[in-house]
Homo-oligomer: A and B are copies of this chain.
Amino acid sequence: MRAVETLLHARWVIPVEPHATVLEHHTVAIDEGRIEAIVPQAEARQSFQARSEVELDRHALIPGLVNAHTHAAMTLLRGIADDLPLMEWLQRHIWPAEQQWVSEQFIHDGTQLAMAEMLRSGTTCFNDMYFFPEITARTAASAGMRVCAGMILIDFPTAYAGGPDEYFAKGLALQDEYKHHPLVRCSFAPHAPYTVSDAPLRRVQVLADELELPVHMHVHETAGEISDSLRACGQRPLQRLHDLGLLSPSLMAVHMTQLTDAERQLVADSGATVVHCPESNLKLASGFCAVQKLLDAGINVALGTDGAASNNDLDMLGELRSAALLAKAVQGDASALPAPEALRMATLSGARALGLGEAIGSLQAGKWADITAVDLGAVETRPLYNPISQLVYAAGREQVSDVWVAGHHLLKNRQLTQLDMADILQRAHTWQGRIAAADAAPHST
């Protein structure tokens, strides 16, 4: 008998690699935070002795979901101003609120609220872009959650930094502090083509190549972004990024609702990742990202929720479903983005984009034990003909029962083990009072 820390005995294991595979009555053995083996239950019960065993006899185990685009702390602005045209939403509500409220405490409290929601819906890793990323990194690490903290970069001064030099200095200090941390990775996070000038963008790519880090950026989110760029510099943003050397395997281009065939080919040739955020694109009327065409071109497509102010949740299981449904309509083909492809987008493709494809994103011996258990026993997922289909098209976030990150049991039978829910709710309530009182056109009651 080999001694291991934990055995998870599951009705189904959906490892994502190999693709579209469902293992029945298998066990995941975990030791020192990593997956030791995945074997049939009968074999596991004979071969391993574990300090802890979990029976998951109505559950599917999947790789922890990777949310490839968040602004976690913005969860404190969830629902502050909905149903407004994009520019009114940004200029009259979101930007003024950010200018007034964003601080280290705001980031800490908002990130904890976001993590509570993300863990409760099966997400184990999030790729964040926001101010004070060192607070995001510290808050995530102290809760045991995996994060890629974006070294935010924007031309204009904010409460966080006075200009490009200070953004770089703070970002690089963050990267230096966390470069050997098992849970924290850093990315460069230049906000968007229209908010970052050529010189800092060139510097991003030099540093990204040197440090082997991803570059996380909003690109081609709306038609207006394209026409503004054509007016300002005579180029579409993607062409400008290409000329600046940013189209590379390290790029995570978020949204990409506006692409010509030639641009799609350019992205495919570059090895860049597209991060698809379907619910944000719908809610802000940004346009439709042609996901199946991207996949057909061989592009790595990851999935993100965007911030809770434009979604309004951080539920990757729901986002997965929205992506799979929407792709069919956009492609005009009910067989587009089938369930196993959607699940891979929400796990392994995100991991690969972050440079973590060998560490997380699928259930494989040797990878970190970042695992989500979904209880498929409820009426909402019965009868059950195909577990992957059921996960994508019928399961709800409330069916996520347990979550492990690096072998640590962070959600246990729907209870958070590392985060204090009452405290998080109390702090959200305090922020709500302040923010609602100050919002230019309050909707609060």
Q: Residues of B contacting A318 with CB < 8 Å?
A: 318, 396
8 interchain residue pairs of minimum CB distance: A383-B432, A398-B398, A83-B338, A282-B325, A386-B443, A312-B393, A285-B334, A282-B329
Q: Residues of B contacting A439 with CB < 8 Å?
A: 385
* A82 contacts B329, C-beta separation under 8 Å: no
Q: Mark A318-338, 1 if CB is under 8 A from B, else 0.
A: 100010011011011111101
Query: Which listed residue, B12, B79, B332, touches A445 by the CB 8 Å rule?
Result: B12
Q: Which of A57-92 contact B (CB under 8 A)?
A: 76, 78-86, 89
* A379 contacts B329, C-beta separation under 8 Å: no
Q: Which of A110-127 contact B (CB under 8 A)?
A: 113, 116-117, 120
Q: How far is the CB of A65 from chain B (nearest CB, A)?
A: 15
Q: Which of A381-399 contact B (CB under 8 A)?
A: 382-387, 389-390, 393-394, 396-398
A79-B393, A383-B429, A383-B435 known; 15 new pairs, CB 8 Å cut-off, are: A22-B445, A76-B383, A80-B385, A83-B338, A117-B379, A283-B334, A283-B393, A308-B394, A383-B432, A384-B432, A385-B435, A386-B443, A386-B445, A387-B445, A396-B396
Asked if A83 meets B334 with Cβ closer than 8 Å, knowing A313-B394, A385-B444, A386-B445, the reply is yes
Q: Residues of B contacting A282 with CB < 8 Å?
A: 325-326, 328-329
A359: CB under 8 A from chain B?
Answer: no
**A356 to B78 CA separation, bound complex (whole angstroms):** 35
A425: CB under 8 A from chain B?
Answer: yes
Query: Which listed residue, B81, B284, B428, touches A383 by the CB 8 Å rule?
Result: B428
Closest to A325 in B: B282
Q: Residues of B contacting A394 with CB < 8 Å?
A: 78-79, 308, 312-313
* B436 contacts A385, C-beta separation under 8 Å: yes
Closest to A80 in B: B385
Closest to A89 in B: B334
Q: Residues of B contacting A329 with CB < 8 Å?
A: 281-282, 285-288
A36: CB under 8 A from chain B?
Answer: no
From A285, A311, A429, A442, residue with most partner B Cβ within 10 Å: A285
* A380 contacts B83, C-beta separation under 8 Å: no
From A279, A281, A318, A329, residue with most partner B Cβ within 10 Å: A329
**A396 to B439 CA separation, bound complex (whole angstroms):** 26
* B334 contacts A379, C-beta separation under 8 Å: no
